Amino acid sequence: MNIQSIIHIDNDILGGQPVFTGTRVPVESLFDHLEAGVSLEEFLDDFPTVAKEQAIALLEMANKITSSKNFAQLYEAVA
C-alpha cells in the first residue's frame, strides 16, 4: 500500500492536517486512541470511514520508521 492511499494532506481539509485518505479523520487520532488504551478495533468502530488496511499500513510504516537503523537521519529530515 503506498503512502498516498493511507495519508492525504490538503489545506482545504482540516487546515492541512494529515488525514486518512478518503476521510476527514486525522492520522493523529489513531495514535491518540492507542495511547489512551483504545483497541484498534474500537478505533475503527469509532471511525468507520477509515479502512482497517489503512490503519494497519500506517502502524506498519510507523514501526519501520522508528525501528530504522537510520532513525537519526529520518528524525533530522522531519524535525
Q: What is the pLDDT of residue 67?
A: 78
Task: Residue 42: give its domain's CATH number.
Answer: 1.10.10.10
What three-state secondary structure class fits 76? Answer: helix
Which amino acid is residue 2, in one-letter code? Answer: N
Q: How far apart are CA 38 and CA 33, in angstroms?
A: 5
Q: What is the CA radius of gyration of the chain?
A: 13
Q: How many domains does the chain have?
A: 1
Q: Flag whether the pTM goes above 0.95.
A: no
Q: What is the pLDDT of residue 40?
A: 98
Q: What is the pLDDT of residue 10?
A: 96
33, three cell numbers: 486512541
Query: 43: which residues sit within 8 A by CB, 6+ positions away?
Result: 29, 30, 33, 34, 50, 55
Provide the residue-wise pLDDT of the chain in tens; the chain has 79 residues. 888 999 999 999 999 999 999 999 999 999 999 999 999 999 999 999 999 999 999 999 888 877 777 766 666 666 6
What's the domain range around 12? 3-78
